[in-house]
Structure 1
Amino acid sequence: MSAADRSPAQPLELRLDGHLNEDLASSVYRELRAAICDLRLHPNQRLVQNALADELGISRTPVRDALLRLAQEGLVRPAPQRGGYLVSEFTAREIIDIYDVRLALEPDAAAQAATRHGAVAIATLRDINSQIADSSAKRTTSTYELNRDFHSLVIEPSDNAIIGRMLRDLWSMPTALRMYHVQMVDQAVERQMVEEHDAIASALEARDPDATREAVARHIEVAREEAVQQVDQDWN
Structure 2
Amino acid sequence: MLADDVYDIIRDGLMSHRIPPGSRLNLDQLARELHVSNTPVRQALARLESEGLVEKTPYRGFAASTLLDSKTITELYGYRLLIEPPTAARAARCRTDAEIAELESLCNSDAITQLVTDDSTPDKLPQLDVDFHCSIAKQAGNSVVVENLSLTLTRMCLYSLYGRRGVAERAWEEHRAIVSAIRAGDPDAAARAMHVHLAAGLDRLREALG
**Do the structures match in fold with TM over 0.5?**
yes
Does structure 1 retain, via aligned residues, the 8 Å contact 2:138–2:146?
Answer: no
Matched, 1:176 2:195: no
2:13 to 31, 35, 48: 35
User: Relative contact order (C-alpha < 8 Å, sep 6+): which is higher?
Assistant: 2
Query: What amino acid is the match of 1:134?
Result: Q
How much has 1:221 moved relative to structure 2?
Answer: 1.4
Taking the aligned partners of 1:68 and 1:18, their CA distance within structure 2 comes to 14
Structure 2: segments with no counterpart, 5+ residues: none
Aligned to 2:205: 227
Does structure 1 retain, via aligned residues, the 8 Å contact 2:85–2:190?
Answer: yes
Taking the aligned partners of 1:66 and 1:125, their CA distance within structure 2 comes to 32
Query: What amino acid is the match of 2:147?
Result: R
Please, what TM-score do these two structures have when normalized by structure 2? 0.73
Does structure 1 retain, via aligned residues, the 8 Å contact 2:11–2:48?
Answer: no
Taking the aligned partners of 2:48 and 2:132, their CA distance within structure 1 comes to 31
Structure 1: segments with no counterpart, 5+ residues: 1-16, 20-25
Aligned CA distance change for structure 1 residues 124 and 68 (closer, same or farther; 3 Å): closer
Please, what TM-score do these two structures have when normalized by structure 1? 0.66
Aligned to 1:89: 66
Task: Tell me the secondary structure at the aligned position of residue 183 of structure 1.
Answer: coil
Taking the aligned partners of 2:42 and 2:94, their CA distance within structure 1 comes to 47
Matched, 1:210 2:188: yes
Does structure 2 retain, via aligned residues, the 8 Å contact 1:76–1:88?
Answer: yes
Q: Percent identical across equivalent pairs?
A: 25
Taking the aligned partners of 1:71 and 1:115, their CA distance within structure 2 comes to 35
Superposition pairs of residues 34-53 of structure 1, within 5 angstroms: 34-45=12-23, 47=25, 52-53=30-31
Query: What amino acid is the match of 1:143?
Result: L
- Deviations 1:32-63 (CA, angstroms, capped at 9, x unpaired): 3442234221224455566545533457x559
Aligned CA distance change for structure 1 residues 64 and 127 (closer, same or farther; 3 Å): closer
Aligned to 1:185: 163
Taking the aligned partners of 1:71 and 1:215, their CA distance within structure 2 comes to 32
Matched, 1:144 2:126: yes
Aligned CA distance change for structure 1 residues 56 and 106 (closer, same or farther; 3 Å): same
Does structure 2 retain, via aligned residues, the 8 Å contact 1:29–1:69?
Answer: no
How much has 1:136 moved relative to structure 2?
Answer: 3.3
Aligned CA distance change for structure 1 residues 72 and 121 (closer, same or farther; 3 Å): closer
Taking the aligned partners of 1:94 and 1:185, their CA distance within structure 2 comes to 23
Aligned CA distance change for structure 1 residues 93 and 33 (closer, same or farther; 3 Å): farther
**Residues paired across the two proteins, number:** 202
Taking the aligned partners of 1:99 and 1:62, their CA distance within structure 2 comes to 36
Task: Tell me the secondary structure at the aligned position of residue 18 of structure 2.
Answer: coil
Taking the aligned partners of 1:85 and 1:112, their CA distance within structure 2 comes to 40
Alpha-carbon RMSD: 3.6
